[in-house]
A and B are shown apart, each in its own frame.
Chain A
Amino acid sequence: MKTLIAGLVRNRKALVGMIILLIIVLIALAAPLLTEYNPAARVGRPHQPPSADHWLGTTRIGQDVFARLIYGARTSLAVGFGAGLIITVLGTALGIIAGYRGGKTDEVISFFTNMVLVVPNLPLLLVLASFIGQASPLVIAVILGLTSWAWGARVTRAETLSVKQKDFVKSAEMMGEPRWRIMAFEIFPNLISIVGINFIGSVIFAIITEATLEFLGLGDPKTVSWGMMLYNAQKASALSVGAWWDILTPCFALALLGIGLSLLNFAVDEIANPRLRTGNSMSRWSALIRSGEGRL
């Protein structure tokens, strides 16, 4: 854990990712200080190009794009980290239990994990969200959290299988420690890098998927978020009428957040995975590679 944090501070990729994330978080927190406009109100004439009054122009119905951008960051971050947390907790718990307990427990959990992995995720979410109706960001975060843990569970299980063969786990068993204690205090700390990668990966996934669901018209129209900005801009044919600021603003914001988080993810993998450090100066790049496994 300590080496992980120390490594993160020294890693250049982590630094860039961290700075991007930090800037977005700060802007989201300071949103009311940065703009005088209410993101939901009509504050100008429709589809005005960027100007001194409206830094990033206005939408089809005259809302300030900059205000929507910085308030929308709050939604994206909240859904991303909220859903990411649920996904990680579920995936880690199920993975460790399946891997450590083995036997029937493992068979049942692995069966469900594999099943969730072969049912395509986005179509499933579309069905769930469409029945729920206009899904608020909170609802989206919860259904994402409950349906997307399978990848994490599979990876954590595989890792648990190798950790449980280690001597310190054997000796804890000999000393008669209860099983939950072994899972929580002997195995879990050794999986921290997998958990970290799973968490950041899930945050990226949740942010992308929330935006996608909202873009496809499953969001709550009252929500101020990057996905709804895309949806409204697309519905207003922003590109065909030349209002590029309306649609490209949330695009670049999503891309930037995605890239920042990915850099962070690669860095955690690189630092936490000793196999990747054994190389020479190339270790930085070979880290990228491993993280591509499984999750494309």
Chain B
Amino acid sequence: MAFLLRRLGFYLAAFIAAATINFFLPRLMPGDPIQIMFSSTGTELSAENLESLKLTFGFVDGPLWQQYLTYLQSIFTGDLGRSIKYFPLPVTEVLGHALIWTVALMGTATLISFTLGTFLGILAAWRRGSAFDVVVSVGAIFATSVPAVVTSLIVLFFFGFTLNWFPTGYSADPALDPSFSFTYIASVLYHGILPMVTLCSVLTGGFAVTMRNNMINLLGEDYIVMGRAKGLSDSRVMIWYAARNALLPTVSSLAIAIGTVLGGSLVTEVVFNYPGLGNILYQAILARDYPVIQGQLLIMTIAMLIANFIVDISYVLLDPRLRRT
């Protein structure tokens, strides 16, 4: 429990650090920070609107610490300002809508590649030296060393444009209204396949390699030999004796992987014109919509911290030693 509380405190500090970067960055740039933040792409803000935006981002009269506290206050009350490009929509609304798609895409891809990678890793370690192992290991090097943007573009080119098997953009057929009907859900799944395949191919290799490593280290342990000596079946020793223990460090590598997943999904969404955070962000960057760009850092940080916390909790559940300290 104390462990989890300490982690929570640390995450709070990390979140404030991200907010602090957002606060100081416009003020460190040469020129008028208000001008920089709110003057992009010709949207005319009324004096009243500008006033409220300035308040949100801490541009108030007073010393710097007072401005900083004002900014932190708006962040902690969930006010991230309004988008300049989609004025007057609040940043939280612009990002929130997109977040659903990103989380769905990312979550599913992480789940699939974690399961698949772990499974491939277990089998590769169990039959180390076999052709299967070589294929998994070499495939993992290649898949993880190619940038997500390159994988996305190549997948899009072959399966989207050349073979014409899958749609090349959007999360569903734009002609359909979002609903819980079979046609709409089928369309969402169909449109999600290519981005999903891309993300999985970027991620699976890393999980497979980590799992294989942990397994091989454990296979020499006495209790594995003992399990075999007792005459247990191969699959029982492999899954319940070796894999179960090898999973522990893999779970912690999952926390680090979340950052990669976030980055990868941003790029993949841009390439596949998928209406998630990545795409909103891409539009925001092109329009220099700073409130949205800053807001995504905070939202991504929160997502990353939540993911880390879930991993912390599962770690406590998986490793009894941690519960006592």
Q: B144's contact among A132, A212, A296, by CB below 8 Å, is which?
A: A296
Q: A230's contact among B14, B149, B168, B212, by CB below 8 Å, is which?
A: B149
Majority secondary structure, B binding face: helix
B81 to chain A, nearest CB (A): 14
Q: Is B137 an interface residue (CB 8 A)?
A: yes
B271 to chain A, nearest CB (A): 7
| Contact A126:B203 (CB < 8 A) given known A119-B301, A120-B262 | no
Q: Give the interface size bracket for B toward A.
A: 35 or more
Contacts of A295 in B (CB 8 A): 256
B147 touches A208 (CB 8 A): yes
In the complex, residue of chain B having the shortest beta-carbon distance to the beta carbon of A260: B145
Can you list 26 pairs linking A and B with CB atoms under 8 Å apart?
A115-B17, A118-B304, A119-B17, A123-B297, A123-B301, A127-B22, A127-B293, A128-B25, A130-B290, A132-B29, A211-B149, A212-B147, A217-B282, A234-B271, A239-B161, A251-B150, A254-B147, A255-B145, A258-B150, A259-B142, A262-B145, A285-B134, A288-B141, A289-B212, A292-B213, A294-B253
- Knowing that A118-B11, A128-B21, A288-B209 touch, tell me 8 more A-B residue pairs with CB under 8 angstroms: A123-B296, A216-B282, A239-B161, A254-B149, A289-B216, A293-B249, A295-B256, A296-B260
- The stretch from B48-56, B62-70, B151-159, B182-190 touching chain A is B151-159
Shortest 8 CB-CB contacts between residues of A and residues of B: A289-B213, A292-B209, A296-B206, A262-B145, A122-B263, A258-B145, A123-B300, A208-B147
Complex CA–CA separation, A252 to B158 (angstroms): 14
In the complex, residue of chain A having the shortest beta-carbon distance to the beta carbon of B264: A122
Majority secondary structure, A binding face: helix
Q: A218's contact among B25, B260, B262, B285, by CB below 8 Å, is which?
A: B285
Binding site for B on A (CB under 8 A): 111, 114-115, 117-124, 126-128, 130-132, 204, 208, 211-212, 215-218, 230, 234, 239-240, 242, 244, 247-248, 251-252, 254-255, 258-259, 261-263, 266, 281-282, 285-286, 288-296
